[in-house]
Structure 1
Amino acid sequence: MRIILVQGDITERRADAIVNAANSSLLGGGGVDGAIHRRGGPEILAECRALRASAYPEGLPTGHAVATTAGRLQARWVIHTVGPVHSRSEDRSHLLASCYRASLGVAAELGAHTVAFPAISTGIYGWPLDDGARIALKTVRETPAPGVEEVSFVLFDATAYAEFDRALRGPGQAVDN
């Protein structure tokens, strides 16, 4: 699978599936979540409400993933995943890795060939960017996702791009961007 880095707005990315760093309510919020809901339109919210009414009445658990339509985005699907809030007293890295694994699993089930990820949990949830980048790239590299040919990390600013670039260019790693 090819991994690329892009600095920009994930809501403008063309991909089969765009991953949303959602909150557990699935009903929109701030950051990436709010931007995806605003740009994607009411179709996304309608499907999220249906998911809450059926499969996830208590909300989507941290580390899990579920897909909806992408509405007006340049994608077929939005894959919603709930990242963990960073904690200095508890190692939650397995939950962050689970977000990437579960999202790739959903993408493969959908038949997505291209998937765009944000830097999950590195915003308001306080995950250190360097560690978030390391976990994201390691997990994507190690997760089998039949049919997924390209994963892009769409990073909002130069700081996030630089951290992901550093992690991608780690010792002995091939780079394709």
Structure 2
Amino acid sequence: MERPTLHLLVRGVLLLLDRLTVNAGRHAEYEADVFASRAGSTEAAVRLMDRILLDEPVSTIVRREAQRLERELRRPGRKKETGQDASRLWEILADEVRAVPEHEYERRRRVSAAREHRADDSHPPTHLRRRRLLSGDPLTAAVVADDTREERVSRELADARRLLAAEIIRDGYAD
């Protein structure tokens, strides 16, 4: 068999496998949304769908703040340790997301439906995921963290948050 023919055969098999598994993958995403709704509540899962619609502005915020923090760290006399400064990236991002008004989420929902917004190609459209969550009876959170548990989780993730923010500033967005 010639090389181009073999290449076409393999490519055809891969496309067929992709077609056969795409629906199963999307179904799994809907099921994951249901599990998220059971764990954290329908209201929280729906809010997550709304946050997914902020992918572009969040990328812009992360890029802007990463560049700003990188410039700040390059000032003369500053140590090159980015950890503590970098962790501010998450606080800034959280503040910016909290400041998004409801009318902006509503606008993004309409645009999402018109453009078939998805987290990526393996996910169903975000507006359909949101609609499906809202179509059933609302669920309350099965997992509720008290202040002590939230503090323990926050401490446990602190190093990872700091390292990831430092990596984003150093490699991901600052150049």
Higher Cα Rg, which structure: 2
TM-score normalized with structure 2 length:
0.22
Question: Relative contact order (C-alpha < 8 Å, sep 6+): which is higher?
Answer: 2
Higher strand share: 1
Higher helix share: 2
TM-score normalized with structure 1 length:
0.22
